[in-house]
Amino acid sequence: MSHRVAIVHDSLAVRGGAERVVLALAEAFPDAPIHTSLYVPELTHPGFAELDVRPGRLNDVDRFRRDHRQLLPLLSGMFRSMLIDADVVICSSSGFAHHVRTTGRKVVYCHTPARWIYDTDRYLAEWGRPVQVGVSMLGCIGRPLDQRAMREADTLISNSRHIAAEVRAVYARDATVIAPCSTLPIDGDTTAIRGVEPGFVLSVSRALGYKRLDVLVEAARAMPDTTFLHLGDGPHRDVLLKDAPSNVISRSSISDSELRWAYRNARSVAVTCAEDFGLVPLEAAAHGLTAALPRARGVVDHALFDGDVRFYDYASSSALVDALASIEAPQRTLDANALGARRFVTEMRAVVNRDPVVDVRDQAPGLERSTAEQLSVGPPVTEPPTAQRLTAQRPTAQRPTRATT
């Protein structure tokens, strides 16, 4: 039986991992329109230019196109006003995409519960006090709306074991774990990044406070003979890198051809953020590189895949230095299967067709699924995980009738 499928995503205004996942969903369901709050082609992955993207009614407002975060107070109402007519609606959500109303089944792929509602201390660490206060107030208003919208989901999927535990604590819902994939084409053309010689440690990360680029900077300071190349833009880039030593090179607005060059010419990859899952380790493995990863949150799930990884204690620059020192010269072999696209597409089609799905947790027999604490493999992140903080705020598990107004 053929289903009419639609895709919903928070916004298409950055070149992030969640946006690559949406491209994979579009590959799985090529006829599906993509509904979103904001679409800025020059700021996101070029693959969306070939797809049926349907932005919200405020898409032409210049201030929102310049800074999509200014839309934040309006997003819940904007998505709630959308009624998506399809047999199955897949909501790719780390914010408010799942607030849409649907005529058919609602499948939510939860990258993370909205950080500005449930994890404000960590997410807003580098923002000014007025922003922190404003977003905290928004969270108080948005929490009950968010809880209601998630209870409407017919099927709930998370991207890692850790996020599944957070979903359980925040929403009192069980989620199937389907790891995401990257859609970076690894066999395309390459463009050299000017001023960079091969043999560097590569970090691919948006410049936001919670990404912990300060750990990368301190590791570079301890390894003065090694070049560290950071790729990624973000509102905190200048602040986070202002005291970086001369062996740190940072570039923003990188094309996929430049990113491929970086992977093909790096010595190793360093990840510093306690990601919800993270696609960089998959891309590193696809290019035959070993990645140094923090032992925290959803990043630990990469131990279940075939990539060569070295775990280190989260937020410890000395531990990152030791991990990087243990990495040998790369093999330089390309393996597109490591990106996980074929696996992800197959599993998401199975979800839509109500066929059996391979849960990531089935690859780790005996793993307890009830709390985020049981998923920890080493020291926790600096701030208490969302699931630990919000256990006392669990809503009732009763699912209401889908709203129609």
222 vs 122: CA distance, rounded Å: 26
**Is the separation of the CB atoms in 5 and 23 below 8 Å?**
no
Structural domains in the chain? 5-181+342-393 (3.40.50), 200-339 (3.40.50.2000)
Three-state secondary structure readout of 322-378: HHHHCCCCCCCCCCHHHHCHHHHHHHHHHHHCCCCCCCHHHHCCCCCCCCHHHHCCC
Query: Within 10 Å of residue 26's Cβ, how many Cβ atoms?
Result: 21
Q: What is the pLDDT of residue 403?
A: 38
Residue written as tokens 């959500």? 93
pLDDT for the residue numbered 140 = 66
Which pLDDT score, from 0 to 100, does residue 284 have? 97
Give yes or no for a contact between 250 and 297, defined as CB atoms under 8 angstroms apart. Answer: no
Angle at 287 between CA 284 and CA 291, to 5 degrees: 25
Angle at 119 between CA 311 and CA 184, to 5 degrees: 50
Beta bridge pairs of residue 260: none
Q: Three-state SS for 25?
A: helix
Helices 317-325, 213-222: crossing angle, 10 deg rounding: 60
Instruction: Please list the ranges in the chain whose pLDDT falls under 50.
Output: 365-405
pTM comes to 0.86
Round the CA-based radius of gyration of the chain to a whole number and report it.
20
pLDDT of residue 397: 38
- Average of per-residue pLDDT values in the chain: 86
Q: What is the pLDDT of residue 210?
A: 85
pLDDT value, residue 358:
82
pLDDT score at 20: 97
Tokens, residue 284:
């590193």
Q: What share of the chain is helix, strand, coil (3-state, %, to 5)?
A: 40, 15, 45
Q: What is the DSSP letter of 314?
A: T
Whole-angstrom Cα distance, residue 289 to residue 180? 19
pLDDT tens digits, 94-110: 999 999 999 999 999 99
8 Å CB contact between 156 and 108: yes
